Every structure is written in structure tokens, then in C-alpha cells.
Amino acid sequence: MICPPLEGVEGGTTMRKHQIPLEQTTQFSKLFLDYLNQDGKLASFYKYPPSLDSFDKAIKDVISQRFNRKLLVDVITEQYSKSDCRLPTADCRLLLDDNTFTVCMGHQLCLFTGPLYFIYKIISTINLAEVLKKKYPANNFVPVYWMASEDHDFEEVNHVNVFRKKLEWKNKQGGVLGKYSTEGISFLIEELKPILGDSKNAKEIIELLQNAYIKRADLASATRYLVNELFGQYGFVIIDPNDACLKKEFSEIIADDIFNNTGFKKVEETIAQLEKIGHKSQVNPREINIFYLTDNQRNRIVRENNKFNIVDSDKSFTETELKEALKSHPERFSPNVVTRPLYQQRILPNLAYVGGPAEVAYWLEYKGMFDHYKISFPVLIPRNFVMLLDDSISERLTKLGLEPEDVFLSVNEMAVKYISSISGDKVSFNAEREQLMKQYKSIEEKLVMVDKSLPSAAGAELKHQINALDALEKKMLRAFKKKNEEAMGQIQKLKDRLFPGGALQERYDNFIPFYLKYGMSFIEQMKVNLSPQDFQFTILLEK
């Protein structure tokens, strides 16, 4: 559907919002769609439906839990101070009050923010906090970025695509990403300068990146600064969970996972239940879902012959030694994708987790584990899904007789629709098929009066004729395409631009080209146009 233009944003072009059902895009898993559609078979795998009405109960559940709010605020304040970042002080101090709650998103420390969907995830979280404040004015809601600073998959975060050019950060430091030195990123910023030019917005971007990655020593600090500069004005708070004091608060569950394998048992049970109703697992737990950290390594812990060995190292512990290490050095223990959600919900007075389809899918595996530990399971709110069409793309779609939602069709389907728009039904035998089927139906009615076995012969002949028509239609369509090669090329280029490498635009392109065009108005436009309860795919077109 086409929504009216949204006005009131200064400093840039306003946009038209066009929305289509997620199912129509064919980009989402059945599990994710079933969750959004509230399929009854999934009801036992989450606590609250993804709706605003769920927050009445979610608030009561979180209030019943104990949180070390002072520690939380002290840690956040110290982290901002060490990164030399401007803390949204008023919003952070609200966390000291029992009537304040968080809504949270998590993400890796991607270079220059990585793909666009990171931006959309943040905006979805900020907007959700604002919507909840309007619904529950007696309470406060702080949007939070739970940094995945302890991930160690460098290849997932070390590159960014700007104007289809891949910028890659070469580095072999090892260990958790948050502690990576930012050394070497300055060369990428220099590489960006001639690409962006010397406009006002280009200079702003370069200065922003230089302040983040050259003036900050590690990747966590650089990411905090960059995200804070873009979103701090909205009260968005960032926390790095790689902290000894925070991990101490979580140490009992760390110990239980290591020595009793509770997470493994509970998640395996849930996966089996999901598989019974036809859904595959997104994440498979290990017996021990905790890593052991050293200065430049993050290694799995495995139990072998009554010893706890650190994989790919010469370190080994007895049970007593490992318990003592956890007690004296909790910072050396790092949750993985299974235990990290527990850690987040144990530390934050958190009501909702905002995430993408894969995140929602793996959270659905964890409900039994949360129930076991009596930790509140959050409302799972899907982030917004967005595609941006500038005026040149919009004009090209119009000239080709295509609608915005047609970009999700295959190239061949788009071509057929274009051809139909300029030729009517001239390259289709649909009318002839209908006429043929009517004729054969009349023939069958006469044949059955003579012998009931004769209509089957007519059916076989009809199928033969229909197949012949199909073959002729394909030949005619190929010939028509050949006569319209320029339009066919435009369709292919359009598809390649919006689905680079076959991926959605939001999973490939970075925000920099859009900031270059719109400046900070880009962030403002996204915030105005997106809604946290809008479970459709949003296409934004320049007005």
C-alpha cells in the first residue's frame, strides 16, 4: 500500500512510504512468519506476543526481579568516560529508578557500522522506547545497545561496502573484537576521501570516522563513539558487557553452564520440540556454552577425562581450579550465543529485545532455559525492514511499468510484467488457453455420453495442446525480449542495484552513501518513517 508522504523533517528530501506484507517479499523464513502471525503451534516457545499489549505483564515480571542498578549505571558511566564519549547522562541516571526499564538490541562491532540494517535496528529500538513512554507515562524506557564486543569472528566485521566498493581492514590481532586496536583503519578513511568528494556532508563523515577510529584506541570505544554521535541525541545508551563486575553478577549461571551443562540440556529439549512441528534450529548449543578469554584468544572450554581443557591452547583446569578462576577472574569467561541472552536479561531490567529474523528464531529456542533460571523472557520485537529507492530508481520503475513491490519479483517476472504493460495481452496465449479448455470440456461431455473411458484420452490430448501453446509462448516472449534488449538490461541493472550480490540492500550497503546525500536528515527520515509495530516491509521513495 502507498502511505502519504511524511512531512516535518528539516534539512532534506521527504520520502513516500510504500509497504508490502513480509510474506510477499519471499525473503523470510516460515518460522519467523509463523511467529509474527501468532501460529498457535509456537505459543509455548515465547512468553509474550509481539504487541504493545504484552508490556503490561512484561513490566510486572521485570519489576519482580532483582537488578544491581547502581552497578549498571556505574559501569556504563565509566565506559563512556574511558572512551571520551558524551554520555546521555539524564537517560542513563534514570536506570537507577525501579520504574525505569530498557528495550535492547545487540549487534557486532562492524566497521563503520556495517550494513544498513544495523541502523534500522537501532532506530526500531529508539522508537519502541518512545512509543512505550507514551503508553506508560508513569514509567521510563531507555533504548540500549548491548555490544557484541566479545565476538571473535573478525571476517564478519572487517569490511564495508560503499558505492559497491569493498573496503577491508587487514588485521591479525586475534581475541575479542572489542579490544582490537584500531590501528590500520586510518588507511581506509584515506581511501574513502576521493570516493566521497569534498562536499559538506563528505567532510562531516570523514571527521566523524577520524574522531571514532583514529582518536579511539580500540574497536569497542570507536564503535561507541560513532553510534553515540549518530544516536545519542535520542537517549540511546551503549553498554559493553565485557566487564568483570557485570560478569560477577552472572557468575552463578556461568558456573552452572560449565559444570552442569544446563543450557545445553534445556535448549536441546526445545529444539526437539521445534523440530516436531516442522522447524529447523537456528543455533545448536554446545555442552559448555562459555568461552575462556586470554589477551588475544577466545577459546571454547571442553570437559575431557575429568579435566576442563581450553581448546587450541595448552591450558587445562581441574574443576576446583576452574571454579577458583571464575571466582577471582570472572572477566576471563565469555558467554556464547546461547548464554549471552541470559547474561543480557540478568544485567538489564529489560522488557524487549529488538532483532532480525535469525535473532528471533534463536531466541525461540531459549524459552525453556529462561524458565529454568527464572529470568524474565523479553518481548521479541522484529526490527524494521527497509529498502531505499532514490528518484532515479523510482523514475526507472515508472518507465518500465513496474510498481515498487515488483522489485521483489525475479528478473524474468519483472520482464514479463514490463512486456505486458506495453503490449497488453499480445505476448500471451492466456485467452487461447481458456478457449481451448472450454472446447475440450464440451468434447469431454459428448464423449462421456458414449463411453466413460473416452474423456481420459481427451484430457491427454488437451495437455499436449497446452504444452505446445506454452512452448510457443516462451519463444514469442524470448523474441519480444530480444526486441526490447535495452529495457531488459535496465531491469537487470535495477535488480542488481537493489539486491547487490543477490542480497537485500539493507544487508549489503552501508549508511555512508545516504549520509553523503542527506546528511543527518537521513537518520531523522528513517526515524520518522519507521514504526516498531509495523511488521511489513517498508520501501521508502524520494518524494
Distance CA 245, CA 259 (A): 21
For cell 520485537, the residue is: 381
Looking at residue 319, its amino acid is E
Report the distance separating Cα 159 and Cα 510, nearest Å. Answer: 10
SS (H, E, C) 418-470: HHHHHHCCCCCCHHHHHHHHHHHHHHHHHHHHHCCCHHHHHHHHHHHHHHHHH
Q: Say if CB 527 and CB 12 are below 8 A apart.
A: no
| Cα–Cα distances in angstroms (integers) from residue 41 to residues 37, 45, 185, 269, 510, in the given order | 11, 9, 48, 16, 38
Q: Shortest CA distance to 33 belongs to which of 282, 383, 367, 357?
A: 357
How many CB atoms neighbour CB 1 within 10 A? Answer: 9
**For residue 214, what is the DSSP state?**
T
What pLDDT score does 4 carry? 34
Residue 374: CB atoms within 10 A of its CB come to 8
- The angle at the Cα of 106, spanning 536 to 325, to the nearest 5 degrees, equals 155
Distance CA(290)–CA(339), nearest Å, equals 7
Burial tier of 155 (Cβ tally within 10 Å: 0-12, 13-18, 19+): exposed
Residue extents of the structural domains in the chain: 2-247+341-389+504-542, 401-502
> How far is Cα 226 from Cα 213, in angstroms, rounded to an integer?
9
Query: What pLDDT, on the 0 to 100 scale, is given for residue 190?
Result: 96
Query: What's the pLDDT at 464?
Result: 79
Lookup result for grid cell 562459555: 290
**CB count, 10 Å around CB of 527?**
17
pTM reported for the whole predicted model: 0.88
User: Which pLDDT belongs to residue 444?
Assistant: 74
User: What pLDDT was estimated at residue 480?
Assistant: 65
Report the C-alpha gap between 68 and 374 in whole angstroms: 17
For residue 470, what pLDDT is reported? 72
Number of neighbouring beta carbons within 10 Å of residue 401: 15
Q: Which three cell numbers stand for residue 307?
A: 579435566
472-502 burial, b if ≥16 CB within 10 A, otherwise e?
ebeeebeebbeebeebbebbeebbebbbeee
Per-residue pLDDT tens digits of the chain, which is 543 residues long: 333 333 333 345 678 899 999 999 999 999 999 999 999 999 999 999 999 999 999 999 999 999 999 999 999 999 999 999 998 878 899 999 999 999 999 999 999 999 999 999 999 999 999 999 999 999 999 999 999 999 999 999 999 999 999 999 998 888 999 999 999 999 999 999 999 999 999 999 999 999 999 999 999 999 999 999 999 999 999 999 999 999 999 999 999 999 999 999 999 999 999 999 999 999 999 999 999 998 789 999 999 998 999 999 999 999 999 999 999 999 999 999 999 999 999 999 999 999 999 999 999 999 999 999 999 999 999 999 999 999 899 999 998 889 999 999 999 888 888 877 776 555 566 767 777 778 777 777 777 777 777 767 777 777 877 787 777 767 766 666 665 677 888 899 999 999 998 999 999 999 999 999 999 999 999 999 999 988 999 999 986
Question: pLDDT digit string (tens) for 2-32?
Answer: 333 333 333 456 788 999 999 999 999 999 9
User: What are the φ/ψ torsions at residue 82 (nearest 5 degrees)?
Assistant: -65, -30
| CA separation for the pair 12, 517 (Å, rounded) | 9
Place of cell 526499564: 101
Please give the single-letter amino acid code of residue 7: E
Which residues are paired to 537 by β-bridges?
20, 385
pLDDT of residue 192: 96
For residues 481 and 485, give the distance between their C-alpha atoms in angstroms, rounded to a whole number.
6
State residue 538's pLDDT score: 97
Check: CB of residue 397 under 8 Å from CB of residue 404: yes
CA quadruple 183, 187, 190, 195: dihedral sign: negative
Phi-psi region of 38 (alpha: psi -120 to 50; beta: other; left: phi over 0): left
Taking Cα atoms as reference points, which of 529, 533, 537, 532 lies closest to residue 12? Answer: 529
Task: Concatenate the DSSP letters of all residues of 340-391 into one string.
Answer: HHHHHHHHS-EEEEEE-HHHHHHHTT-HHHHHHHT-PPPEEEEPPEEEEE-H
